[in-house]
Structure 1
């Protein structure tokens, strides 16, 4: 998550309260009501399945909980949503959201449950980014009202840009819970060995991170080119997310990846400025 943003608890839905305190909340809060409600339902879904993946319980129990979500989605798409998913069912119907994208998100979360991810190969990392980030984008662009091909392309590029930035920002926090999302190819090429969370935590990682930085920057560039083709009101939310995460990437580059690696954030003032600028200028 990024820095906390402003909230108005009295006016929030349950799904909004789940999202409050994130940059996502700030970006989506300025959308028209129907779009805002839809995005908060998607966020709530993602947050709940992510919480299952990150829980401390036995792996089989967490897999069962994720399978229950798949079963519940079957019921939603069969027109028999559980009571707790009726708001999500309304969003799915209103914006014609694809079941496959929700299932992809669950599959991505399950990758963290089946086995602890430590230095995946590049292909596995890209699959993970597609499932946990770009699939969310494919749901979101339907709510924003983008054309199909542009929406798919933006989901691909911006989803990966955001997720790679997350990975670069959270290296040490992930290592503390036994996870390493940096790819084994770049770690090995930069001389990091053995590929364990403890070694990664203690290593200078500038060379290992450089290819991911380049990829993220290229994905941001392509994303911005796609968004330039649309009126501000259509792409205001993804544009704010791109700018906020782009600012984080710039700060990470300026900080470097030696040790220690202080946490990088975008200030609340910077986030407010992005909101105001994109809404009124």
Structure 2
């Protein structure tokens, strides 16, 4: 039974997704309404926690307003934990999140890893290597998001878990490569320090040099390996979920193309895929079926892996 509180909460989750996660939003539009609202609920929880850390001045009614980021994140985590245990919250967004997660029987352990990763952002600003970044941070901030979304997508096989985790990693690595300047503004570098040193690249210079181009080209190749791994999971999803995930994969991976087209300049402004392109891909997917991630119109190039680069 959907109460007025839940209807309000799910509507607010959809608004948050449309405002801050347009790729998720347009991908989820290809799902039946019952699944769509659950995608929005997972996204909203993650967005609100992330904003406490990254945008502390942006205070949503759904999150605690008192204290610094560490105190607010801890309070939000406890609110979530207690609401999930009770199965209820008086706050609309949290009520929707709890309703969704309990219906989908999402493993609560996923959220322990997620909140632990969010807390790391308050103390860590650099990462020594790709393996440290992937396993020490992205495991809880990205791979686990793929696990959270999987019950909503109703996979046909448990084997879909590995590609779902790869897609979470792929999405976040794309964010890291696109948002270098924004992260620098926050005093953070989500780039492997050993790879930067090997190329002689310094993001703090905020300029495109031959060293920076070589470094970023290598990271983009690594990112495309992850998209390749994620695409293997598409046949393991039912048609509607395949369209949703395939569309999101295509749209997010196009950011990499646009970084290349901008000559690896991620400092001058945020690189975006236009809204009309997102809508066009979503509509074509709805009419023609799940997009082939490697077909020419998709514009994702086969991964060319420089020597020494692994996923």
- TM superposition score category, shorter chain reference: 0.7 to 0.9
Match for residue 222 of structure 2 among 204, 215, 225:
215
Normalising to structure 1: TM-score of the pair?
Answer: 0.85
How far 1:229 moved relative to its partner?
4.1
Q: Distance in 2 between matches of 1:137 and 1:125?
A: 17
Q: Distance in 2 between matches of 1:158 and 1:272?
A: 21
Deviations 1:167-209 (A, max 9, x none): 111112222222211110110001135xxx633x235211222
1:126 lines up with 2:134 in the alignment: yes
1:140 lines up with 2:126 in the alignment: no
Matching residue of 1:23: 23
Q: Which runs of 4+ in 1 moved over 6 A?
A: none
More helix by share: 1
Between Structure 1 and Structure 2, how many residues are aligned? 264
Aligned pairs for 1:90-239 within 5 A: 90-115=99-124, 117-127=125-135, 128-147=137-156, 149-192=158-201, 198-199=204-205, 201-202=206-207, 204=209, 205-239=212-246
Q: Distance in 2 between matches of 1:259 and 1:167?
A: 10
Match for residue 72 of structure 1 among 71, 76, 79:
79
Kindly report the root-mean-square deviation, in angstroms, between the aligned alpha carbons of the 2 structures: 2.3
Structure 2, unpaired ranges of 5+ = 1-7, 58-66, 289-311
8 Å contact 1:15–1:40 — kept in the other structure? yes
Q: Distance in 2 between matches of 1:255 and 1:176?
A: 21
8 Å contact 1:120–1:181 — kept in the other structure? no
Normalising to structure 2: TM-score of the pair?
Answer: 0.78
Q: Distance in 2 between matches of 1:198 and 1:158?
A: 28
Residue 147 to residue 206, structure 1, CA distance change in 2 (3 Å) = same
Instruction: Decide which moves more: 174-183 or 41-50.
Output: 174-183
Structure 1, unpaired ranges of 5+ = 1-9
Residue 257 to residue 68, structure 1, CA distance change in 2 (3 Å) = same
Match for residue 258 of structure 2 among 251, 257, 260:
251
Q: Distance in 2 between matches of 1:203 and 1:180?
A: 16
Matching residue of 1:51: 51
Residue 260 to residue 132, structure 1, CA distance change in 2 (3 Å) = closer
